[in-house]
Chain A
Amino acid sequence: MLSIKNLHASVEGKQILNGLSLEIKAGEVHAIMGPNGSGKSTLSQVLAGNEAFEVTEGEVLMDGTNLLDKATEVRAQEGLFLAFQYPVEIPGVSNMQFLHTSVNALRKHRGEPELNAAEFIKLARETSKQVDLDPSFLKRGVNEGFSGGEKKRNEIMQALLLQPRLAILDETDSGLDIDALKVVSDGVNALRSADRAILMITHYQRLLNYIVPDFVHVLSEGKIIKSGGRELALELEERGYGWLGIKDDAETAS
């Protein structure tokens, strides 16, 4: 489904990704771990199409076509979803209006009829319950005044509404209490299916107790330096990153 080859990317002249390669097949769940500043969010932003990041080398194919040539909205319409590490607050645009516009943009792309307001409200209410968000959140501005945990649940709610083929979750587990972690994990597990793939970025192996990955990768200085199965996460938790030859702080990059 997703094939990343030798990806190099920079931001403001600073090289962040240095030849990253990764293959993800339909039905798989991958986890990426790695120290602060190693480039995890950069990878997710580059995949989603953030133009602040410049791809200097390498290629990314999604379902066999060149992903990097496509506009951000087209990537999303074709099924790529990024749950942001830091969801943006947009006062003045209601969550309802935002989600409705987004769902219809994807439906339109797939040649499906758009949902009218009543149909959408029904769907949105049901989905908000699935992530334990009160439907009154739909009336508020996008993420406006949401707590950290509410923002993360809102991201998962969007994933559930949009039913992506590839969901990239950038630290969706950070800042969640134990109940919220359960809710978010249930949401992600509900997305798991044979024709979908999930790429989770996380610092904590506890998430992986709820969402069991098929593969775990360690990112350091913009490259995947080790890959393994579920047990790699446990080992990282016990031993830190030092045994892999990385210091635990980002100072090493230079």
Chain B
Amino acid sequence: MKSVPMLSSAFLAPAGQSLPQPLLELRQQRGTALVDMPLPTRKTENWKYSSRYLQLTDAIAASLPVSDRIDTPLAKVPGYQVVIRNGVMVPSASTLPAVEGVTISRFADLSDEVASSLAERLDNTLDANAVQLARLNTARFEDGLYIRLAPEAVLDQPLFIIYETDASQSGSAYPRLYVEAGHHSQATIVEEFLSTGSEAALVNAVSEFTLADSAQITNVRLSADGESVQHIGATGARLQGHARFESHCVGFGGPLRRHDLQVRLEKPGAECLLNGAVVTQGRQHYDNHTTIEHIAPHCNSEENYRNIAAGQSHAIFRGRIHIHRDAQKSNGHMNNKNLLLSSGAEIDTKPELEIYADDVKCAHGATIGQLDEESLFYLVARGIPRREAQTLLTMAFINELIQQIPVAAVRDASLPRLNQFIDQTFEEA
């Protein structure tokens, strides 16, 4: 019998950042639980396409060093900003809001009392069986961001959290976010993942959101780490009555990109919108898994994911809607559209509906297509060079989702980047 690969013990040694005692204990506890954790293989259902890209080598096991030096000037963002470098907050590069009812703290600064209540809740939004590797984040985080919105607090401008990974040497980073939104509170939180340097590195990021009654959170996630970075991310959200969670993910491919998004609609009237747009080229790999749990009756979910795969790349979408027995009058809509830009590219899509209630409206659809030749001819017949026409049509395919991102600065920054990325794929062709 072939032995199952295990997580190397090198991954179970966190670095020495100072954290409040309760968080250190939690980390220790999670670390112990991960000893001899089997790594996903091709036979692991939710990793079957991606396990071979997961390279958890000892070379990247050590934490990337902490530094508050900023080498690359970050674009000035219109709003509040927190910079997390190699998983640790850089206060000198951050601009925090002074808004009543909004408390943003780094884990390192929490009192033992607050840290102890946080430690009890960390990981509670995520299904550990589905996102085993998120536990590695909890075993390894060196810092984290804890955002509390008091009841009715409204963050007046978006908060940009910029996770920068310095891959000028090999190692790993474990950024962590926990957002607690009180009833009727509102905030828009943009998370952007970037990296510099070209050594092999791992980013294992976990973001969690809890939304009390009627809270509204918009979460934008831009995944744009470099070519030497494996990125494994998990986002979890739990919603109480009439809360609304909007997630907009924009992802650029890499050697391994994996994002698990799990949303639980736990009380009547809760609703979520999950949008995602992914582009891959060359030999890149991108794997999105989403799960929506309709637990309470009268909840709504809508989901739209689009993949564009060029070159020899591989994009995967697995979307699961699970309607529990008591979740009558649920509305669930899932749509996944895919565009293959070359014959060497591969797209796998698996929408899954699991319905245990009888009075629900649920629909899903998935398509895989190519650029429409007739449309292409129409554009080219107006003098538009073929490559530009291909880029225009490809952009049109995801533009619809980008236009739904409710932060103009994100749209304005994403569109040219997507355009450039897509244009490049036609150069190679």
Residues of A at under 8 Å CB distance from B?
48-52, 71-73, 75-77, 82, 84, 87-88, 90-93, 97-98, 101-102, 105-106, 109, 141-142, 158, 162
Contact = CB atoms under 8 A, between A and B. Distances in A.
A50 B399 CA distance: 27
B350 interface: no
Contacts of B378: 84, 87-88, 90, 142
Given A87-B378, A101-B379, 18 more contacts: A71-B380, A72-B381, A73-B381, A73-B383, A88-B372, A88-B375, A88-B377, A90-B379, A90-B396, A92-B397, A92-B400, A93-B393, A98-B382, A102-B379, A105-B383, A105-B384, A142-B378, A162-B382
Contacts of B381: 48-50, 72-73, 75-76, 82, 84
Given A90-B396, A92-B396, A105-B388, A76 B383 contact: yes
A155 B399 CA distance: 24
Given A50-B377, A88-B375, A105-B388, A93 B382 contact: no
Q: By DSSP majority rule, is chain B's interface helix, strand, loop, or mixed?
A: helix
Contacts of A92: 393, 395-397, 399-400
A76 B379 CA distance: 10
Interface string B364-402: 000000001111011111111110110011011101100
19 contacts: A51-B377, A72-B377, A73-B389, A84-B378, A87-B378, A88-B372, A88-B375, A90-B393, A92-B397, A93-B393, A93-B395, A101-B379, A101-B392, A102-B383, A102-B384, A105-B383, A105-B385, A105-B388, A162-B382
Residue among A50, A90, A142 with max Cβ neighbours from chain B (10 Å) = A90
A115 B274 CA distance: 38
Residue among B372, B373, B383, B392 with max Cβ neighbours from chain A (10 Å) = B383
Contacts of A82: 381
A92 B375 CA distance: 12
A162 B383 contact: yes
B423 to A, nearest CB: 13
Contact of B383 (A51, A87, A88, A106): A106
A76 B380 contact: yes
Nearest to A86: B374
Given A87-B378, A88-B378, A90-B378, A97 B384 contact: no
Given A92-B399, A97-B392, A73 B380 contact: yes
A141 B379 CA distance: 13
Contacts of A52: 373
B377 to A, nearest CB: 6
Contacts of B396: 90-93, 141
Contact of B392 (A49, A71, A84, A93): A93
Contacts of B375: 88, 90
Given A90-B396, A91-B396, A93-B392, A101 B377 contact: no
A72 B397 contact: no
Contacts of B383: 73, 76-77, 102, 105-106, 109, 162
Contacts of A88: 372, 374-375, 377-378
Contacts of A75: 381
Contacts of B384: 73, 98, 101-102, 105
A106 B383 CA distance: 6
B277 to A, nearest CB: 12
A12 to B, nearest CB: 14
A101 B380 CA distance: 11
A244 B393 CA distance: 46
A98 B400 contact: no
A141 B393 CA distance: 11
Contacts of A98: 379, 382, 384, 392
A76 B388 CA distance: 15
Nearest to B403: A92
Contacts of A102: 379, 382-384
B427 to A, nearest CB: 16
B245 to A, nearest CB: 26
In the A-B complex, the 6 residue pairs with the smallest Cβ-Cβ separation, listed nearest first, are A92-B396, A76-B383, A102-B382, A105-B383, A88-B378, A72-B380
B394 to A, nearest CB: 10
Nearest to A82: B381
A73 B392 contact: no
Contacts of A109: 383
A143 to B, nearest CB: 9
A119 to B, nearest CB: 18
A101 B389 CA distance: 9
Contacts of A87: 378
Residue among B381, B384, B385 with max Cβ neighbours from chain A (10 Å) = B381
Residue among B372, B373, B399 with max Cβ neighbours from chain A (10 Å) = B399
A76 B378 CA distance: 11
Given A88-B374, A90-B396, A92-B397, A158 B382 contact: yes
Nearest to B373: A52
Interface in B144-185: none
A92 B397 CA distance: 7
Nearest to A99: B382
A52 B381 CA distance: 14
B426 to A, nearest CB: 14
B403 to A, nearest CB: 9
